[in-house]
Amino acid sequence: MNPEPGTPAAAAMATPAPVSFMQALALWFKLGFIGFGGPAAQISLMHRELVEQRRWISEKRFLHALNYCMLLPGPEAQQLATYMGWLLHKSKGGIAAGALFVLPSLFFLITLSWLYIAYGHVPLVAGLFYGIKPAITAVVVHAVHRIGSRALKNGWMWAIAAASFVAIFALNVPFPIIVTAAALTGFLGGRYMPAKFTVGGGHKQADKSYGPALIDDDTPTPAHAQFRWSRLIKILLAGAVLWCVPMTILTLQLGWDHTLTQMSWFFTKAALLTFGGAYAVLPYIYQGAISHYNWLTPTQMIDGLALGEANPGPLIMVVAFVGFVGAYVQSVFGPDLQFIAGCTAAILVTWFTFLPSFIFIFAGGPMVESTHGNLKFTAPLTGITAAVVGVILNLAVFFAYHVLWPKGFAGDFDWIATCMAIVAVIALVRYKRNVIHVIAASAVIGLLLKTLAL
How confident is the prediction along the chain (454 residues), in pLDDT tens digits per residue?
Answer: 445 544 445 455 677 888 999 999 999 998 888 776 567 668 878 888 898 889 999 888 887 787 678 777 888 889 999 999 999 999 999 999 999 999 999 999 999 899 888 887 777 777 888 888 888 888 888 878 877 887 788 899 999 999 999 998 888 887 778 878 988 998 888 888 888 886 544 444 445 567 888 888 888 888 888 889 999 999 999 999 999 999 999 999 999 999 999 999 999 998 887 666 666 677 788 788 988 899 998 888 888 887 887 788 887 888 999 999 999 999 999 999 999 999 999 999 999 999 999 999 999 888 877 765 443 445 776 787 788 788 778 878 887 888 888 877 888 899 999 999 999 999 988 988 877 788 889 989 998 988 887 5
Contact 289, 301 (CB under 8 A): yes
Domain, as residue range, for 176: 103-201+249-359+371-453
User: What count of other Cβ atoms lies within 10 Å of the Cβ of residue 118?
Assistant: 14
Determine, yes or no, domain membership for 67: no
Determine, yes or no, domain membership for 35: no
Determine, yes or no, domain membership for 317: yes
Question: Residue 292 carries which DSSP code?
Answer: I
Beta-carbon contacts of 297 under 8 Å, excluding residues fewer than 6 positions away, are 290
Determine, yes or no, domain membership for 286: yes
CA–CA dist 291, 288 (Å, integer): 6
Determine, yes or no, domain membership for 176: yes
Q: What is the domain count for the chain?
A: 1
Contact 438, 36 (CB under 8 A): no
Determine, yes or no, domain membership for 83: no
Determine, yes or no, domain membership for 140: yes
CA–CA dist 258, 311 (Å, integer): 29
Q: What is the pTM of this model?
A: 0.76
Instruction: Give pLDDT, residue 241.
Output: 97
Furthest C-alpha separation in the chain: 77
Reference 300, options 113, 110, 102; nearest CA is 113
Contact 391, 164 (CB under 8 A): yes
CA–CA dist 434, 196 (Å, integer): 33
Determine, yes or no, domain membership for 37: no
CA–CA dist 443, 454 (Å, integer): 17
Instruction: Give pLDDT, residue 378.
Output: 55
